[in-house]
Amino acid sequence: MDETPIDRPIFVIGTGRSGLTPLMDLIAYHESFAWPSQYNERWPKLHAVSALSRIVDIPSVRSHVKFRRGVPKHTEAYPLWGRCFPGFAEPFRDLVAEDVTPYAKRLFRQTVADIVRYQRKTRFIAEYSGWSRIAFLRTIFPDAKFIHIVRDGRAVAHSYTNVDWWNGWEGVYRWRLGIPDQGMLEKLERYEYSFLALAAVYWKILVTNISDKGRLLPSEDFLLVRYEDLVADPNKEARRCIEFAGIDKDRTRFEHHLRTVKIIDANLHGVRIPPWRESFGPKQIEMFNDLAGDELAEFNYT
């Protein structure tokens, strides 16, 4: 039996295009946290590269330098997790407890323990997008905690339709979310399978999955953060996340870090693409409300 001690790992999750990066920029650099970097992603078999991430703890690097190209930075690191469970990155459904084998559990726990050890930290944090994978990871890490960052679905859908890697371009019979029910298929047909309509359903499926699985956890193990609240008051939301993790110490150093993070509200300012409100007309808004209005209302997006 694996007795590797791993204390309450934190997983930051979202639908994708929801604000994972800015949230992680704020909280992952707390002195307690170890995290997988682009170097773990590039060399997933070589866990010792995690030691490179200690560079960001050097006083002269703690400022804006830590965000420069080449400096170790948190990442979703799917190649790393793919070595533990090949289907982790792009399963056609959510991963559940029954998917965990003793072998996969051993690999996940050893990988996380190695990253924590090489970075000389006490806690672990990681990000990923898409399906919740909550039941899967709780089976491996029984005391894992999850932070769900949610963003206005209209902004997320707009972002999906402005990137080439979104697999919604392939349609409902080839994307990795499974085929929607007949009622939703009829709605999509009514909208002639508009890609924006497909993006709305894509967001709806994933955000519902994460919310439903999160509700099954004790309240102290699942935290909801709205992207809009994050960009309105980054420091407040970052502190809330750190308190949720149970590591609110050395506030002076963490507060200094927060002052080095620049957060841009992509809902209001163009960041590679224009804000969704500049791209949607009344017909697009009406269509989105028809397809995913309940989910918008659930998160107070009116």
Structure confidence by residue, pLDDT tens digits, 144-186 = 999 999 999 999 999 999 999 999 999 999 999 999 999 999 9
Name the CA radius of gyration of the chain, rounded.
19
Residue 270: pLDDT band (50, 70, 90) is: confident
Structure confidence by residue, pLDDT tens digits, 192-211 = 999 999 999 999 999 999 99
For 172, residues 6+ apart whose C-beta sits below 8 A from its C-beta are 179, 180, 185, 188, 193, 198, 201
Mean pLDDT over the full length of the chain:
95
Residue 3: pLDDT band (50, 70, 90) is: low
Contact 287, 251 (CB under 8 A): no
Residue 271: pLDDT band (50, 70, 90) is: confident
- The DSSP result for 56-104, as a single string, is GGSGGGTTGGGGSTTS--B---HHHHHHH-TTSSS-SS---GGG--HHH
φ/ψ of residue 86, rounded to 5: -55, -25
Contact 67, 25 (CB under 8 A): yes
Sheet of 10-14, strand order: 33-34, 123-129, 10-14, 145-150, 222-226
| Gap between the Cα atoms of 64 and 41, Å rounded | 23
* Both tokens assigned to 148: 């769900």
Quickly list H helices, 195-281. 195-215, 227-232, 234-245, 251-258
Report pLDDT for 1.
43
Contact 151, 172 (CB under 8 A): no
Does the pLDDT of residue 72 top 70, yes or no? yes
Structure confidence by residue, pLDDT tens digits, 33-68 = 999 999 999 999 999 999 999 999 998 887 889 999
Side chain identity at residue 238, one-letter code: A
